[in-house]
Chains A and B, each alone.
Chain A
């Protein structure tokens, strides 16, 4: 019996977005990162094209964080003392993109300043040839205060600036427009909110080829199914031709997975949770790998071992010759 393999005919395509600029394009990056362009669901090569692989970013901070899991502190060790060293270590670990998150305060408890973040961004750009994304600490007024000088310092590098949210996107988009960067939009696990913010941002005049959307996800066990399904719905809408859902998707499984009890805490937990180190790594890897299946184009991770494992999985899923 000949079984006919069903194939979907999709009319839409995810937009291609390129982060980073080489000398040729007015930047100093030694490589750029292009994502998107898919004309089918994740890895279904038999019915469409997947021109670019899902990218893996490593999150670094402008200073050693106070509240990260000891497992991460031990892994990055000395490198966490300087953003430049951390960025280099992330590059060596195989990252495609450096995702730099600015802190509210400096190591001695003072408020973070425009001068300080300029210095950090310069050091990171000098330390690595990888493309860069920079996000503020997550408080609207302070984000704006810090992201504008970052955008100026990195002018022409086509970095990804974050995080644009419904209540606070204008300043960041303006900074991206003025200095030739891209922006990350972020909405809380909802298809319509996601579309709406992309519309608002593009209404400011920034081309859609410079917007990456973050539909938000929860960690495994902490709401991943909401993010997972919103991503599937967004991607299906994109392939069916709904223009404002066609941005490549960025998600942050690293930050989500490493803030839950299962990865943070080694003592006073049920014995059935198993070995702490293994469990913590599984938590990040399973959160990330599930989101690869639901259509993520960029995944931000924290542990180099997770990056290695997820990369191997993506390699296998792209091995079309097999």
Chain B
């Protein structure tokens, strides 16, 4: 959390010595708060104050980056408790749990299938982020072989779950060239794990049963020079994880509590009595960082990835639909052509109404910078010229032969102008509200 100029001023010597080339310490503090000067420009600052100021300028939750041979995952750097306050920045990574006691061929097939999974959501490509490979066999060679097999099937980032230093080392030998997350240091093994993580320059998970022990451990690891840490607070099911994750987010964002300012890793599929998808959804909305899931099931993964996309959408920048002509219910060249803007909610409202009314139709989605019909019209982003341009650009004339285009009722005023822009076309005025599209088409359209 950034400090204000006054808060910084309190930490300065307050001698107004002008050695920083500013007339007063307060003036320097104001410049520092605005990040226009650097702290080292003040030669008289105490070590203690310098440490405080430096830590205050660091992000409250450290950004952790993983990368595979191809593809990266970044988690952390969050600054708010509720998305409406600003936005949530880095989507939690979803990793599929695999183990080194699985049949190697079956595992390869599973990895290949999950790796290939990809689904299009309003033009955004959604996919799984990577794999969490666990050493359960206790055999280092076996673990290394399994990690190598996963890498052969997927270039996505990995999490290595290796409870013993020997196993961790073996796993890391197989991941050379990439940056996996190593799981996990605990009160017993932390020194050995710290050395391994440090040598391999990989982030390390810290596992502790309560936050007091967790803070002790992160402190020790930081003293050993490890900066990239991830927390596993062993948070259990719905209630305990809600309380623990909320507390961790509040400590980081509101209390600026450094020892626990790291992303969280969770295992929603491994909790007794919890429904994996509902608990994963909770962790997506409420402060999860790396989420390890047990089951690869497209019917579940697709909605979870959509939820993650929705929750992490910047409230200031609504999701936009890619401009173009969309098909609804397999239209023909005799089906109606409707036009609207590329604000996703507007698009969905209209597409849904046409679809559920059972009409085959074409929907021309114009580039209105993600605004709804009335807003875009008022802002000059949805006018006859733009509609005509997009109609031509996306080949409306090749899609339908009736040469009729239906305008939203709210912009009926554009119809004359649009007829001028689109010679030979008949401009029809549709209803104002999407919900009336079905009955409108029923009255005016002879298919």
Using a CB–CB distance below 8 Å, which chain A residues touch chain B?
A: 1-6, 43-46, 67, 218, 220-226, 228-229, 232-233, 236, 259-262, 264, 268, 270-276, 278-279, 282-283, 285-286, 289-290, 293-294, 309-310, 312-313, 316-320, 322
Contacts and interface: CB of A to CB of B under 8 A. Distances in A.
A317 B299 contact: no
Contacts of B5: none
Given A1-B215, A6-B254, A259-B352, A46 B120 contact: no
Interface stretch (B20-28, B221-229, B274-282): B274-282
Contact of A274 (B247, B257, B259, B297): B297
Q: Which of A6, A225, A313 has the most CB of B within 10 A?
A: A225
A279 B299 contact: yes
Nearest to B242: A43
Interface in B162-181: none
Contacts of B219: 1
Interface in B227-267: 237-240, 242-243, 246-247, 250-251, 254-255, 257, 259-260
Nearest to A268: B330
Contact of B344 (A223, A260, A262, A285): A223
Nearest to A276: B299
B251 A274 contact: no
A317 B242 contact: yes
Interface residues of B, number: 60
A3 B215 contact: yes
A282 B345 contact: no
A275 to B, nearest CB: 4
A45 B304 CA distance: 27
B238 A317 contact: yes
A272 B302 contact: yes
A5 B275 contact: no
Contact of B251 (A3, A261, A264): A3
Contacts of B281: 286, 289-290
Contacts of A317: 238-239, 242
A2 B84 CA distance: 32
B311 A274 contact: no
B348 interface: yes
Given A6-B250, A44-B246, A316 B119 contact: no
22 contacts: A2-B212, A3-B212, A5-B247, A46-B243, A220-B307, A223-B344, A223-B348, A224-B307, A225-B310, A225-B311, A228-B311, A229-B83, A233-B82, A260-B348, A264-B356, A272-B118, A274-B298, A279-B299, A286-B304, A309-B275, A316-B239, A318-B239
Q: Considering the complex of A and B, which 5 residue pairs feature the smallest CB-CB distances, nearest first?
A: A274-B299, A274-B298, A278-B299, A279-B299, A272-B119
Contact of A290 (B274, B285, B344): B285
B216 A316 contact: no
B238 A3 contact: no
B424 interface: no
A46 B121 CA distance: 38
B432 to A, nearest CB: 13
A221 B119 contact: no
A273 B278 contact: no
B69 to A, nearest CB: 23
Contacts of A5: 211, 247
B75 to A, nearest CB: 20
Nearest to B275: A309
Given A4-B255, A273-B302, A274-B301, 5 more contacts: A262-B302, A275-B298, A286-B278, A313-B238, A316-B238
A132 to B, nearest CB: 26
A6 B251 contact: yes
Given A225-B83, A272-B117, A312-B275, A1 B299 contact: no
B65 interface: no
B374 to A, nearest CB: 13
A286 B268 CA distance: 15
A105 to B, nearest CB: 13
Contacts of A224: 307, 310
B71 interface: no
Nearest to A281: B299
B78 to A, nearest CB: 16
Given A5-B247, A46-B243, A272-B117, A313 B275 contact: yes
A322 to B, nearest CB: 6
A313 to B, nearest CB: 5
A221 B299 contact: no
A274 B285 contact: no
B355 interface: yes
A278 B300 contact: yes
B284 to A, nearest CB: 8
Contact of B298 (A232, A236, A272): A272
Interface in B291-314: 297-304, 306-307, 310-311, 313
A266 to B, nearest CB: 11
B240 A220 contact: no
A220 B330 CA distance: 24
